[in-house]
Amino acid sequence: TKIGIDAGGTLTKIAYWDEKMELHLLSFLSSNFQAVKDWIDSNHSLASICLTGGRAEQLKKYLISQKDIPYIVEFDATMAGVKHQLKQQNIHCEKAIIANIGTGTSIHLMNENSHSRLGGTGIGGGTFIGLGQVLTGLSSYEELISLSKIGNRSSIDILVSDIYESNKLPINGSLTASNFGGVALKTAEKRSEADYLSGIQGIIGEVVASLCIQAADAYHVNSIIYIGSTLENNNLLKEIIRSYTQLKDKEPIFLGKNGYSGAIGALLES
């Protein structure tokens, strides 16, 4: 069997087929390469691996193989994985903006079989964990996610309609005028840790979606594919991104295996 490994800033994702050609996916913290090594040692030979991702070289050194482990460029792998998943989900899409919301966020243009990097932002999944930890003291991803889901952003953010009130609105009143601006301006309201966390999700979703929407306008593209493990078990973030993207008349696309496009691509290209 073959294995694709995407060693990212935060998570190392693995994709492989079993004897029945069924796809399996799993992930480890990139801070624990020993666990990755143990898994490979007990399940697979180094010969069958193809690596990708920013920490691929670090992982390769850690595995101390005599043989050279094949490596492919991160975005080539990601593109291959995205195309594979689009096919699997029966989505016809030749041209799209792709946003990979990992530790940080990288934004690309997919145009049939070519692709180019358009830019990115440091606002990403790392921001959720980092700012979330500062505001709540929690460091577990699962705890942060589940707490954020019961939060409410209305006391955290300022909406356009909060400012304009009865004045005639120049733009949609439900748009955020200021993320976290409510903390300073809505002084009478009470806020919980859950509210802060949902506010952080709002920053990530709205910053990423608005960059993608602008890129889509600039390159005359209608679809935006959002990937990355930051979307994993994170319906709140998906909903923020979905509604904002649709509001701006673009089509948001999510893939079933959010964070695994790179690993699946490395598996396919190996």
Pairing of strands 105-111, 114-121: antiparallel
Half-sphere exposure of 89 (CA within 13 A, CB side): 16
The distance of closest approach from Cβ of residue 189 to ligand ATP in the complex, given in angstroms and rounded to an integer, is 27
Which does residue 129 bind out of ligand ATP, Mg ion, none, counting CB within 5 to 8 angstroms by kind? Answer: ligand ATP
Binding of ligand ATP at residue 228 (CB under 6 A)?
yes
> Of the ranges 34-42, 121-129, 195-203, 243-251, which one interacts with ligand ATP (CB under 6 A)?
121-129
Q: Taking CB under 5 A as the rule, which mask of x and - marks residues 73-102 in contact with Mg ion? A: -----------------------------x
What span, in angstroms and rounded, lies between the C-alpha atoms of 115 and 74?
Answer: 12
Buried b (16+ CB within 10 A) or exposed e, 234-250: bebbbebbbebbeebeb
Q: Taking CB under 6 A as the rule, which mask of x and - marks residues 60-79 in contact with ligand ATP? A: --------------------
DSSP 152: -
The answer to whether 74 is a known catalytic residue is yes
> Of the ranges 61-69, 124-132, 157-165, 246-254, which one interacts with ligand ATP (CB under 6 A)?
124-132
DSSP 19: T
Residue 99 vs 224, nearer CB to Mg ion:
99
Residue 86 vs 159, nearer CB to ligand ATP:
86
Burial degree of 220 (CB within 10 A; 0-12, 13-18, 19+)? exposed
What span, in angstroms and rounded, lies between the C-alpha atoms of 28 and 207?
Answer: 27
- What residues between 147 and 206 interact with ligand ATP by CB under 6 A? none
Binding site for ligand ATP (CB under 6 A): 8-11, 53-54, 102-104, 125-126, 128-129, 141, 228-230, 232, 259
> Footprint of Mg ion on this chain (CB under 5 A)?
8, 102
